[in-house]
Each structure stands twice: as C-alpha cells, then as structure tokens.
Amino acid sequence: MDLPPDPTPDGTSPRTFALGHLRPKHSFTGCSRISDYELQGKLGEGTFGEVHKARSKKTGALVALKKIIMHHEKDGFPITALREIKLLKLLSHKNILSLEDIAVEHPSRPTDKRKKPIMYMVTPYMDHDLSGLLDNPSVHFKEAQIKCYLKQLLEGLCYLHDNHILHRDMKAANLLIDNKGLLQIADFGLARHYDGPTPRPGRPMGDGRRDYTGLVVTRWYRPPELLLQLRQYTTAIDVWGVGCVFGEMLVGKPILAGESDAHQLDLIWDLAGSPNDDVMPGWKQLPGGEHLSPRPRPGNLQSRFKEYGSGAISLLKELMKLDWRTRINAVDALEHPYFKMAPLPMAPEDIPTYEDSHELDRRKFHDRKANLPPAPKGGTVGVGPDANGATAGFTSGDAYGRNGVNGSRHRDERPYRGDEGGGRRRDERPWEDRRRYNGGKDERWNGRDHRTRSRSRSPGPERSRDMYRR
C-alpha cells in the first residue's frame, strides 16, 4: 500500500517541512575546552576511541565525553559525526539523548602544528545502557518494568518518525537508561531524514519511495527486507528493531543472534515462519530472494514466548511481521492493548536503581570475549548475488564472530558508518569485507600494510560495547 505524501502548509516536501519546524533545544556557540571538565573514569574503549565519565566544572553535572575520531584528517571532520551533531541539536524530546556541548582538547604544545585538536561530544551521563543491564546477572526485569521501558522507546521513536527521521540502528546497546527510570535513544550516526509519510493511526507504512543504503542496522536487529536487499525501505525497519529489543527484555538475551546474514534469515524464518506470497508478498522479487527456497515452517514465536502471555505475543507478532508494508507503526504500537493489561507499565520513578552497567563494568560479569558478530561496516550486506557474482551469504560478522574482533559475550557492535553521502573508512571495514576487486576472491589485508595481503585470520582488539560508543 503506497500512502500519499503528508500535506504541508507551504507545499514543500515532508523532509523540508520537518527541517523547518524542528527547533534546537540545546544550542551552543563555539566550543568548550576539555579542561572545563574533570575526568572521573573511563566508560568504554575500542575502535571508536574512548568515552569518559566527567563532571562539568561550571555546572557540577555529570556528563559523558565521546571522542570524535579523525581517521583520515585530510578528509576533514567525519561526516557521520557531523550528521549526529546536526540531528542531536535539532531534536528535543525526553526520550532522545541530548547534545550539550562540544569540547576541544588542544595539543599540549601550541607550536606543534602536526597534532590536530581532539573533539569530544558532550552528552548527559546515563547510568546504564539496556544491554549492560541485561548482561548484569543481578538485574531481573519485571513485566511492568519492561512495559515502562518499551513505552518510552516507542514514544521516542514516534517523535523521530513524526519528524521524518530514520534511526537505522535500533538495538539494546543504543538505549540509555538512568537510575530515575528514564530511557533515551542514542547513537544517531546512521540516522537520516526520511522522504516519506509519517506514521498515522491505523495506517501501516506501505512501500518506500526512494532508495537508501542497505548498509545499516546491526545484524541481530536487521529486518528481513534489508537482509533480502530491499533499498526502498521505510520506518518499518526501526519497528522491527523495537520488536527484537522487546523480545530481548523478555528473555534476557538477543532473540535472533545470527552468525551470518544467511543464518540470520534462517532464524527469522524459524521465529516468524517461512515467507510466502500471503505473509510477505513479492519477497521472491527482491534481489536476495530470487535464489532462496527456505523449507516451510510455521514459526515458533507463540510457543517461544508463551510464558509471557497473549498480550506480549500479540504485540511481538505485530512488531515482527515479515511484510514491512503491513508491519505495525510506532503510533499504533503505543495504543496496543498490551499496555492496558495487568500489570500496567511501572512509573519510571518506581523502577529499582542498579549499579552502573557500562562496558568496563560488564567485564566483571563475564570474563570472556564475545563470539558473535557486529553489523557490517562495509562490503556486501544481505543474501543473494553480489556485484561480483559471488554469493553474499557471509559478511563482516563471519570474521568478527570467529576472531573476536571487537566482540563481547553475545552482544553486537556498531554497523558500518557509510551512507549515500558518506565515505568509507578503510580501518573500519571488517576483515571479511576488506576485499580487493579481484573477481570476488577473498583476500584480506593484514591490517599493517595495505600493499600486503594475507589469508590468515588476524585477531583484533577485544570488542567494546559501552553505551556511548558508536
């Protein structure tokens, strides 16, 4: 179903109208110095750099300082950081993480012109990310608490979609929570404005209207249409991620932890049932569906979540419909009967407080590296023939899953930061995707000299998954 464009008073496109009516809540001119903040400890580290907990010397407030990595300084300021800063300054909602400042760390020697200033994004300090809480063995969610978090997530997502913004990396690691029970959506490095209708009550999103990059969404939260290489996607991709997060809160771990894109699809078919023209019309016509013949199966969602009641099962089925055109939107999900059933959603202030659950804190919970992959940071995503004619059943995750590159117990990492207008950073590409255009041969760089290639799997750094990285 293709919806007509939203009416705008001045006759402009929905995107232009949204841009003109968003007003920044947190505006700042110039930048602070890093010396304006007192560092109190590291929250995480990894290929993205370091994130520190700090206290503002001016206000006394706790903040998080996220380093902006300049991988290739000659290319200028990273486009993904620019996009994130731009969106965070425009957005204003209690369930969206705010950007409070940009801090600059200048070289210790002013005469040293070879060293460039280091930039930090300053955001409010949040005590946890959702994945950190789920990793904490001392934390056990009650159903009323899950409803509270899920309702806040949907309210934040409604705000984004109503302003024509796709998040495109919806997952537990990107949901920050404080000890007052407030949940905020974070990490807008993959977000972009969306040229399409906003969600309306009783109206699924239908078909998309323009092509977008498929290199988005962490694999475990990636919807089937992206795995089948649909490019004209809609806000329904974020809704699928909400369904994955909802299921994760119920069972305490990711519900679709695929080891490759092909395996990810197989897990989806197990959960939601095999695709056919009734439940997912036109799936065979998608680039990734032409060569697939999944075995028939009814889906085990009902039996897998039977202990959580009919309301939870009903909402999960709507959030995780195979057909993106009829998948429930965020507006209707908020009005689902599940939130009116006992127990009712807990008030945020009534949610228990927990010890901080960050990446470095979680090491004391799980003294082992992760064995499952992040989303792709380059190369081919999905299943089906790639540009070289090879089957793109594997992606970055195959290498990460076996090598432990940036991996943690069972969590995910950030996806590739490319976009229609963005560049691809060589050092952010996973080993499996560092392929030269040589007829599809899988020759990998050794990570030290791009002129030397190696077929060996080189181990990478321990995976980082703190709540502010990305």
Q: Does residue 182 share a domain with residue 108?
A: no
Q: Does residue 145 share a domain with residue 109?
A: no
CATH number at residue 29: 3.30.200.20
Q: Does residue 441 share a domain with residue 428?
A: yes
Reported pTM:
0.75
Is residue 48 within 8 A of residue 470, CB to CB? The reply is: yes
Q: Does residue 197 share a domain with residue 155?
A: yes
Q: What is the pLDDT at residue 212? A: 93
Q: Does residue 160 share a domain with residue 92?
A: no
Q: How many other C-beta atoms can be found within 10 angstroms of the C-beta atom of residue 455?
A: 9
Q: Is residue 67 part of a domain?
A: yes
Q: Does residue 423 share a domain with residue 346?
A: yes
Q: What is the pLDDT at residue 291? A: 86
What one-character DSSP code corresponds to residue 453? E
The residue type found at 356 is D
Q: Is residue 372 part of a domain?
A: yes
Place of tokens 């940071």: 377
- Which residues line the annotated binding site? 66
Q: Is residue 11 part of a domain?
A: no
Domain stops at, among 97, 124, 151: 124
- Residue 400: half-sphere exposure toward Cβ, Cα within 13 Å: 37
Q: What is the pLDDT at residue 110? A: 63
Q: Does residue 130 share a domain with residue 100?
A: no
Pick out the chain residues at pLDDT < 50: 1-6, 9, 17, 46-47, 367-373, 375, 387-470
Q: Does residue 396 share a domain with residue 300?
A: yes
Crossing angle for the helix pair 236-251 and 309-319, nearest 10 degrees? 150
Calpha distance 114→270 (Å, rounded): 55
Q: Does residue 93 share a domain with residue 140?
A: no
For residue 169, indicate whether it is catalytic.
yes
Q: What is the pLDDT at residue 107? A: 72
Domain count, the chain: 2
120 φ, ψ (degrees, to nearest 5): -130, 135
Q: Is residue 141 part of a domain?
A: yes
Q: Is residue 3 part of a domain?
A: no
Q: Is residue 364 part of a domain?
A: yes
Q: Is residue 366 part of a domain?
A: yes
Q: Does residue 166 share a domain with residue 275?
A: yes
CATH number at residue 150: 1.10.510.10
Domain stops at, among 91, 124, 157: 124
Domain stops at, among 124, 152, 168: 124
Range of the domain at 179: 126-470
- Which residues line the annotated binding site for ATP? 66
Q: Is residue 175 part of a domain?
A: yes
Q: What is the pLDDT at residue 74? A: 66
Q: What is the pLDDT at residue 189? A: 86
Three-class secondary structure of residue 469 per DSSP: coil
Q: Does residue 301 share a domain with residue 380?
A: yes
Strand segments, DSSP code E, in 158-266 are 165-166, 175-177, 183-185, 192-193
Q: Does residue 152 share a domain with residue 108?
A: no
Choosing from 101, 129, 135, 169, the catalytic residue is 169
